[in-house]
Chain A
Amino acid sequence: MAAEMEIIMEKPIKEPKILGSVIDPSLKKKPKIEVTGSKVWYGDFQAIKGIDMNIKANSVTAFIGPSGCGKSTFLRLFNRMNDYVDTFKMEGKVKIDGKNIYKKKVNVEELRKEVGMVFQKPNPFPKSIFENVAYGLKIQGIKDKKFIDERVEKALRQADLWNEVKDNLKKSGLALSGGQQQRLCIARTLAVEPSIILMDEPTSALDPISTAKIEELIFELKKKYTIVIVTHNMQQASRISDFTAFFYMGELIEFDKTKTIFTNPSKKQTENYITGRFG
């Protein structure tokens, strides 16, 4: 096994032509997110080595790959979260609804209203449940109480949390269980009505029941939102996503319909990874 793994590591595929191999032609037509020639460096280290990808609206796309393969970095390109890293440098284009989000004129705060994010560990603010969800609206300067009340309720309902917290909206967000906290974070993201939700391992800190709830939620949310999720859980990727991208050493090895990736992937590296033979 060790020898086999070394061979795989010695021969990463240089320039994967991913778009041509995608079976679903809808991916080429009017993508929600369109990435071309993306290259990312953190100082001298190149984390992304030239990736093109189209992401379809109202779909769930899962990013899989071993730790350090660049999937989270790639995800964070979509809402410019990598900008916070001092040594970050990027080449290429990331277009959302046809607009390049890396142009100088782009207002990053506005972009993040459009592209929400849910992180690995639930991170509610030390405020009430209501204040947590209303936070994004308030920092936008919205003061209309009725409007905020409606949006908070709507977001909590969409996050499937309303029935559990409606009588306790003043309770601290931190007093909720891990699974509830994560759904609260999703509600907080939904309250500002983004069109894209990025999720970076959103269930890795949760128990199976809470995970199942989040997965059901993702399935419901894709009707209205475009969801991109990074996950280390192969079963989760196969259960909830429409498309799966496999990353390895900063390259996109394979990107196809999830059904194809998990039944008959075209690249040996993908197969070795999803069947647990390396990584």
Chain B
Amino acid sequence: MDNAEYQREALNQSAFDMLTLCTSQLEKAIEAFISHDSDLSEEVIHRENRVNAMDIKIEKDCEKFLALFTPVAVDLRFIMAILKINSDLERIGDHAFNIATYVVEEEKAIPAHLFEAVEFDKMHETTKSMMDNITVAFEEKDVKMARKVFKKDKVLDKINIKSFNILEMEIQKDQSIIKEALFLFSVIKKMERVGDLIKNVAEEIIFYTDAEILKHKRKK
């Protein structure tokens, strides 16, 4: 393995580690949010430093690779994809951190019937499945697997859109849950954003593998 290939493989591994770390952060943050587990939230908050450190490391390694190896064609697409994927993952990590912070700061748990009303479980399962899809897609450079997330993202969008009216109705029924409903609404928004970021990662995997630019092109 020559030096360029060795560096490329190392970067690929770092990006995969970042993906695994952010997947775990997101999963733990949502679990902590649902079960109002402040210990688990603390763990997510504590590990945010690792996400930031890896983000900086990958960015520096990409810069070094660009400067030293002046990549072209597939290597250039690889570096461009890694840079963007890294930034998207770091933002997913930020969302996980913010969700975990809510749990730590708020003493009262979200009432179970609110989760049910907005289909939060479905949102959780969909996000989890999307993260699984991009993990496999990234590891195996599997474009077909990456494309699976686009349809799933629409599920998140629908839940997000419907949640406003649902929560408004719930608040009208019981005004003592205003604060919790607002928190839940805010987390749903974050999950919807996470869906968009996962979609971006999938687009980058497709760009790197097939040299196809999907950004701003896909039919709504």
Please determine whether chains A and B interact with each other in the same assembly: yes
B1, B73, B74: most-surrounded residue (chain A CB, <10 A):
B73
B73 close to A271 (CB less than 8 A): yes
B2 close to A275 (CB less than 8 A): no
**A274 proximity list for chain B (CB < 8 A):** 72-73
B2, B5, B72, B77: most-surrounded residue (chain A CB, <10 A):
B72
Quick one: given A263-B211, A264-B211, are A234 and B1 in contact (CB under 8 Å)? no
Q: In the complex the two chains form, what is the Cα distance from A274 to B74 in whole Å?
A: 10
A262 close to B72 (CB less than 8 A): yes
> Is B111 in contact with chain A by the CB < 8 A criterion?
no
Q: Number of contacts between A and B (CB, 8 Å)?
A: 32
> Is A265 in contact with chain B by the CB < 8 A criterion?
yes
Interface size on A, residues (CB 8 A): 14
B4, B5, B70, B74: most-surrounded residue (chain A CB, <10 A):
B74
A235 close to B73 (CB less than 8 A): no
> Is A139 in contact with chain B by the CB < 8 A criterion?
no
B70 is contacted by which of A1, A235, A263 (Cβ under 8 Å)?
A235
Residue of A nearest to B75 (CB): A275
Q: Which of B1-45 contact A (CB under 8 A)?
A: 1-2, 4-5
Shortest distance from the beta carbon of A90 to any chain B beta carbon, whole Å: 33
A265 close to B4 (CB less than 8 A): no
Shortest distance from the beta carbon of A165 to any chain B beta carbon, whole Å: 34
B1 close to A275 (CB less than 8 A): no
Residue of B nearest to A262 (CB): B72
**B211 proximity list for chain A (CB < 8 A):** 263-264
B74 is contacted by which of A1, A235, A261, A275 (Cβ under 8 Å)?
A275
> Is A276 in contact with chain B by the CB < 8 A criterion?
yes
A264 close to B73 (CB less than 8 A): yes
B73 close to A265 (CB less than 8 A): yes
Q: Which of B39-86 contact A (CB under 8 A)?
A: 70-77
> Is A238 in contact with chain B by the CB < 8 A criterion?
yes
Instruction: Identify the 7 closest CB pairs spanning chains A and B, nearest first.
Output: A264-B211, A262-B72, A275-B75, A271-B73, A274-B72, A275-B73, A274-B73
Q: List chain B positions with a Cβ less than 8 A from chain A.
A: 1-2, 4-5, 70-77, 211
Please name 18 further chain A to chain B contacts, defined as beta carbons within 8 Å, in addition to the given A274-B72, A276-B2, sorted by A numbering: A1-B2, A234-B72, A235-B70, A238-B72, A261-B73, A262-B73, A262-B76, A263-B73, A263-B76, A263-B77, A263-B211, A264-B211, A265-B73, A271-B73, A275-B71, A275-B72, A275-B75, A277-B5
